[in-house]
Amino acid sequence: MSQENKDPKWEGKSIVELKNIKAEQLWPLFEDFCTFHKWIPGLDSEKCHYVEGVYGEPGLIRCNVFTEQSSETLSNDTDKWCTEKLLSMDRIEQTLSYKIIENNLGFRYYVGTIKVIEIEEGCKIEWSFIADPVEGMRLEDLGGFVEGVYGP
């Protein structure tokens, strides 16, 4: 009898609506995959950077370093980082997918998808993920990350 994986994956989706900003205005921040620090408070612009690959193409790799303030829900340590690889980007649909390939945050497996969608009064950001559970973190902490950045 084969043994099944006992650890269920974490899956989540967060949606944040932004008033008075159009999707076409917001999308360029996400499309420029290596400037994560421009839209996430607490990231050090000197430590968040391009690593390798062709801009806008699958295989592009970025490194993000989180300051203590931005990583409160992840850990109390400073210099938390992750290296992420762009898996796909669709400029027409304004969506991208990426995975964490190296990190000291505790992720063994993580794939995220970001979609920017036009709505009547502005736009919304849809962020979904699938990940292995992370020791010392709750699914709610990870799922609430986008709301914490963009929410009220």
Residue 4 lies in a domain: no
Within 10 A of 43 (CB to CB), how many other CB atoms are there? 20
pTM (2 d.p.): 0.83
> Residue 7: is it exposed, middle or buried by C-beta count within 10 angstroms (0-12/13-18/19+)?
exposed
The conformation of residue 9, written as its DSSP 8-state character, comes to P
Q: What total number of domains does the chain contain?
A: 1
> Residue 47: is it exposed, middle or buried by C-beta count within 10 angstroms (0-12/13-18/19+)?
middle
Residue 102 lies in a domain: yes
CATH of the domain at 29: 3.30.530.20
Separation of alpha carbons 143 and 88, rounded Å: 22
Residue 72 lies in a domain: yes
The reported pLDDT for the residue numbered 92 is 96
Residue 1 lies in a domain: no
* Residue pLDDT, tens place only, 15-37: 989 999 999 999 998 999 988 77
Domain holding 29, by residue range, is: 10-150
Residue 77 lies in a domain: yes
